[in-house]
Amino acid sequence: MKKLLLIQSTPYDSCRIPIKKKKLYFVGLGIPLLAALTPRDWDVEIILETIEDIPFDTDAELIAIGSMGHAIIRSIDIATEFRKRGKTVILGGYMASLMAEEATQYCDSVVIGDAENVWEKVLRDYEAGDLKAVYREELEVLTTPMPRFDLILDKNIGDFLPVQAGRGCPNSCSFCSVYCLYKNKYLKREIAEVVRDIEQVKRLGFKKFLLLDDNIIADRGYLIKLCQEIMRLNMQWASQCSIKIGEDKELLQLVAESGCITLSFGLESISAESLKEMDKAWADPTKYAELIKSIQEAGIDVSTEMVVGADGDTIQSIKDTATFIRENKVVVPRFYILTPIPGTKYYDILKSQNRIYKEDIYSYNGSEAVHVPKNMSPEELTQAYWELYTEVFSLRSIVKRTIIRSDFFKKMDRYLFYFLINLYYRYQIKQKITPNII
């Protein structure tokens, strides 16, 4: 039987050593889905490099590697090693899609964007000895088979499995890879199909799932119907969406009742000027505190993603971000340096202004300034970023955000869990690892 090895690569750390973990708390869906899209006359093996070693002496003839962000460098190195051993290598996933032309130099074929309409053709072309350098087949309708979780269940993964209802986002933030790939397209799956996948997660013995959508409230009516279905399954879930959900008390209540325990919000910045620069002026930072409160009052824990280094940011505004996070009792805050990912609108703008400071994609890890900010030097930005992380994950801030809360005794288990996550992040930050590859 022909054999395919599917790899999700892990990024390198600052010493160019692949980042390894004992456990992968959040697994992606791309690779298990690709396995499900593979015709059954292929034998498939999955390797999640963050928790497993790559079997370079594999008997698989075809190697397909997925890459997120700066992990593309690792994917390229893996591809090079396999090609030396005579294997055929295909790259895909977000980062290979955004820099497909460059990626083709290091592999036999690149799949840009969604694989659903094209993966079987790729494999058949390979079998016929007619593999093309690039494949791209945009989706008009999103329908996916049941992901092959059977291939990852024996691995050391967390207690959430991934499910996806939709892809893309109607917004157009300048720095965003999702916008770059989907423009304003927002594709949703039939609710029955999503429920089918959640039911599979439940059948496999998992009580929690991660709804991987980038903005789950992009279609309010759809989310309402989905929550009504999820509710009867008696599961817990987490997802991410626009903070504007805080304005919609009725929706918040339904989302919470359906089992949503945590929502993550790309707040990006507390500076209105910075948000404008990111084409995210629709978000109003003066309302953030009030919206966060209303989400917390609905019983949903608030996690945030923010970036520093936009033109509205100063050293002082970056320091003030730590106070914002502490005062609003954000349980899991994450930060990145605003990074002009090649392929995005933001990259083109900075390039035209001659403000790209480092071209080496290896530095595009979100924790090192690669552009020249307006109000500080790149080095000052990198330093301010790590100081922000250090302050936010000081014991004082961690305790204030996770323990000293009026509802602590109501949800003690959950807050103690967040407390431990925060301690783990604190440990990672001390090693200068951006706490994301969890």
List contacts with ligand B12 (CB under 6 A).
8-11, 26-30, 33-34, 50, 64-66, 68-71, 90-95, 98, 111, 114-116, 162, 164, 176-178, 212, 214, 341, 365-366, 434, 436-438
Nearer residue to ligand B12 within complex by CB, 212 or 295:
212
The least CB distance from residue 263 to ligand SF4, in Å, is 13
Instruction: Name beta bridge partners: 136.
Output: 112
Residue 138 to residues 32, 112, 268, Cα–Cα distance (Å): 20, 9, 29
Evaluated on CA atoms 250, 256, 259, 263, the torsion sign reads positive
Kindly state the tokens that stand for 99.
């820099």
Nearer residue to ligand SF4 within complex by CB, 215 or 262:
215
Query: Taking CB within 5 to 8 Å according to partner kind, which of ligand SF4, ligand B12, none is near residue 179?
Result: ligand SF4
Nearer residue to ligand B12 within complex by CB, 216 or 326:
216
Give the number of C-alpha atoms closer than 13 A to the C-alpha of residue 15, restricted to the C-beta side.
5
Nearer residue to ligand B12 within complex by CB, 93 or 309:
93
Report the 10 Å Cβ neighbour count for 270. 22
The least CB distance from residue 119 to ligand B12, in Å, is 6
x-or-dash pattern for ligand SF4, window 177-216, by CB under 6 A? -xx----------------------------------xx-
Query: Taking CB within 5 to 8 Å according to partner kind, which of ligand B12, ligand SF4, none is near residue 11?
Result: ligand B12
Evaluated on CA atoms 425, 430, 436, 438, the torsion sign reads negative
Instruction: Name beta bridge partners: 305.
Output: 266, 334
H or E element at residue 14: none
Kindly state the tokens that stand for 209.
């799932």
DSSP state of 365: S
Evaluated on CA atoms 96, 102, 103, 108, the torsion sign reads positive
Q: Which of 10, 38, 97, 171 binds ligand SF4 (CB under 6 A)?
A: 171
In terms of C-beta density within 10 A (0-12 exposed, 13-18 middle, 19 or more buried), how is residue 194 classed? buried
The least CB distance from residue 151 to ligand SF4, in Å, is 28
The least CB distance from residue 269 to ligand SF4, in Å, is 12
Q: In this structure, are strands 166-168 and 186-188 parallel, antiparallel, or unpaired?
A: antiparallel
Query: How many residues are given for the chain?
Result: 438
Q: Which residue is nearest to ligand B12 (CB)?
A: 92
The least CB distance from residue 129 to ligand SF4, in Å, is 40
The least CB distance from residue 286 to ligand SF4, in Å, is 19
Q: Which of 112, 118, 176, 310 binds ligand SF4 (CB under 6 A)?
A: 176
SS3 389: helix
Q: What is the dihedral of CA 370, 274, 100, 435, to 10 degrees?
A: 70
Q: Which of 64, 89, 96, 173 binds ligand SF4 (CB under 6 A)?
A: 173
Residue 397 engages ligand SF4 in binding (rule: CB under 6 A): no
DSSP code per residue over 27-95: --SHHHHHHHHS-TTEEEEEEETTTS---TT-S-SEEEEE--GGGHHHHHHHHHHHHHTT-EEEEESHH
The least CB distance from residue 409 to ligand SF4, in Å, is 35
Query: Taking CB within 5 to 8 Å according to partner kind, which of ligand SF4, ligand B12, none is near residue 215?
Result: ligand SF4
x-or-dash pattern for ligand SF4, window 221-260, by CB under 6 A? ---------------------x------------------
Residue 365 engages ligand SF4 in binding (rule: CB under 6 A): no
Interface region with ligand SF4, contact rule CB under 6 A, candidates 50-58, 172-180, 328-336, 382-390:
172-180
Nearer residue to ligand B12 within complex by CB, 64 or 326:
64
Query: Taking CB within 5 to 8 Å according to partner kind, which of ligand B12, ligand SF4, none is near residue 171?
Result: ligand SF4
Total residues contacting ligand SF4 by CB under 6 A comes to 11
Q: How far apart are the first and last CA of the chain?
A: 35
- Per CB under 6 A, residues contacting ligand SF4 are 169, 171-173, 176, 178-179, 214-215, 242, 266
